[in-house]
């Protein structure tokens, strides 16, 4: 299929492969050519995986996390539904990547050029060197590969390495010149030489990683959000290798599905919750409940629903709520099995006698649901704790009423220590 590169796991989309990250593929149908893209922003989710927003079938809800992140729900990364065992729907939604870097190098002749100056075949995302392919007899394409060096800043911007600026062309250099980047007998970056084939200017790559290697002003490029998404930025740009581990740090917020949010009622309310929460008063909420026919959906009378929903809204509006403390309390406040037929099922038990001096409580969590949402990313350094890091980069051009997320379900063991033993 045209320009399709491969699959990523859902969990990767909110960790290492989210919007703004650089992803490497091997295009299996094109001789294993290396293709590097930057994952596109949320606008492309709406465009390539319709219907847009929370109208999509693959969504998730968790009211506490929605309140914390000021959204109305979460989109799951699109997965193609199976129309038969092992057969996937052809019109399934897809995630989009933008080619980055746009400078590519031929592994045979070592020429470095912009994307537009390499050859391509219709529907093939792998570009190739025409001269080297012809010299090889035309039987196999000599595919070009992404360059090793890119530029980023600590505010999340991403840019091409300034190859023409780095080589320092001589006066009267022809306008359409090729560059060549090849190694020499010298070890390290000092042995990697960039040469202009138009004016014969040459310069090694030594020093390109230093703090003062580039002009001090970042261009504010955001290729994952489009060509017109540049920002003003006063951060210092830095050269890094394309596969460096500090290019992308996802900023993730998560929450466990705990009572009362984990029950069947909340599941049945689903996407209607945002409207109910935004209602100005009980009377407006009562009108909404009737209009939505929630009593028919849930099997609970209207007046009873108003009381239940009001109670849950009050819980969410408690000043300075601590989402982790709420979860902790759910594990320690129940001394009997709790939560059958919900997303939160625990079975407390006393600690083993030999550990009773140290452990207050042992809880088997036999059913848990966690929602993990991606709200941005940082580059160069991991995000600071507390959620106030101003270096967090955007994953969309404009604010959406949803964020990408995944659901994790599993089980585990919770252990509460005896505080007096810890103090001692």
Assign 31 a pLDDT band (cuts: 50, 70, 90): low
pLDDT, position 230: 95
What is the C-alpha separation between 54 and 136, in angstroms, rounded?
52
Cβ–Cβ under 8 Å, residues 239 and 208? yes
List the single range of 23-37, 70-84, 146-160, 282-296 with lowest mean pLDDT.
23-37
Predicted confidence (pLDDT) per residue in 291-327, tens digit = 999 999 999 999 999 999 999 999 999 988 899 999 9
Q: What is the distance between the terminal CA atoms of the chain, rounded to a whole angstrom? A: 65
Q: Which helix (H) or strand (E) covers residue 278, if one does?
A: helix 273-278
Global pTM reads 0.90
DSSP 74: E
What is the C-alpha separation between 119 and 1, in angstroms, rounded?
19
Share of the chain above pLDDT 90, in %: 76
CA 381 → CA 18, 234, 245, distances in Å?
Answer: 17, 17, 10
pLDDT at 264 over 50: yes
pLDDT, position 86: 67
Tokens of 341: 């037929």
Cβ–Cβ under 8 Å, residues 266 and 260? yes
Residue indicated by tokens 């490497």: 24
What is the C-alpha separation between 18 and 41, in angstroms, rounded?
8
Assign 137 a pLDDT band (cuts: 50, 70, 90): confident
pLDDT, position 28: 58
Stretch 31-36: mean pLDDT, rounded?
83
> Nearest-CA neighbor of 276 among 257, 297, 258, 255?
297
CA 262 → CA 64, 301, 361, 382, 404, distances in Å?
Answer: 11, 20, 23, 32, 20
pLDDT, position 184: 85
Stretch 250-268: mean pLDDT, rounded?
93
Share of the chain above pLDDT 70, in %: 97
pLDDT, position 7: 86
pLDDT, position 2: 61
What is the C-alpha separation between 149 and 133, in angstroms, rounded?
25
CA 125 → CA 29, 32, 36, 302, 376, distances in Å?
Answer: 10, 11, 10, 56, 28
Residue 102 sits at the vertex; the CA angle it makes with 97 and 106, to the nearest 5 degrees, is: 120
């Amino acid at each position: 299929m045209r320009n399709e590169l491969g699959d990523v796991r859902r969990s990767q989309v909110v960790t290492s492969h989210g919007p703004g990250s650089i992803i490497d593929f091997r295009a299996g149908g094109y001789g294993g050519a290396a293709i590097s893209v930057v994952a596109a922003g949320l606008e492309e989710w709406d465009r390539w995986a319709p219907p847009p927003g929370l109208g999509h079938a693959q969504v998730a809800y968790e009211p506490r996390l929605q309140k914390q992140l000021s959204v109305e729900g979460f989109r799951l990364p699109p997965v193609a539904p199976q129309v038969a065992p092992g057969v996937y729907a052809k019109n399934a939604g897809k995630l989009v990547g933008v080619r980055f870097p746009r400078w590519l190098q031929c592994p045979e002749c070592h020429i470095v050029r912009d994307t537009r100056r390499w050859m391509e075949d219709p529907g093939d995302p792998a570009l190739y060197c025409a001269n080297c392919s012809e010299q090889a007899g035309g039987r196999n394409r000599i595919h070009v590969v992404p360059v090793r060096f890119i530029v980023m800043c600590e505010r999340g911007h991403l840019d091409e390495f300034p190859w023409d600026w780095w080589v320092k062309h001589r006066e009267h250099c022809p306008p359409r010149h090729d560059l060549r980047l090849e190694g020499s007998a010298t070890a390290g970056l000092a042995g990697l030489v960039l040469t202009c084939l138009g004016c014969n200017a040459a310069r090694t790559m030594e020093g390109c990683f230093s703090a003062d290697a580039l002009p001090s002003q970042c261009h504010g490029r955001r290729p994952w959000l489009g060509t017109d998404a540049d920002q003003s930025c006063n951060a210092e740009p830095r050269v890094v290798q394309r596969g460096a581990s500090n290019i992308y740090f996802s900023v993730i917020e998560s929450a466990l599905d705990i009572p009362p949010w984990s029950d069947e009622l909340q599941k049945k309310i689903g996407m209607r919750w945002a409207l109910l929460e935004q209602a100005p008063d009980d009377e407006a909420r009562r009108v909404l409940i009737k209009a939505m026919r929630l009593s028919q959906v849930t099997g609970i009378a209207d007046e009873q629903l108003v009381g239940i929903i009001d109670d849950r809204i009050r819980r969410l509006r408690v000043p300075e709520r601590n989402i982790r403390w709420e979860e902790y309390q759910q594990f320690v406040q129940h001394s009997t099995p709790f939560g059958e037929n919900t997303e939160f099922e625990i079975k407390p038990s006393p600690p083993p006698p030999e550990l009773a001096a140290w452990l207050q409580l042992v809880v088997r969590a036999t059913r848990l649901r966690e929602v993990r949402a991606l709200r941005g990313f940082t580059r160069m350094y991991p995000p600071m704790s507390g959620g106030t890091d101003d270096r967090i980069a955007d994953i969309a051009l404009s604010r959406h009423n949803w964020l990408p997320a995944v659901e994790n379900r599993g089980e585990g063991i919770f252990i509460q220590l005896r505080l007096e033993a810890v103090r001692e």
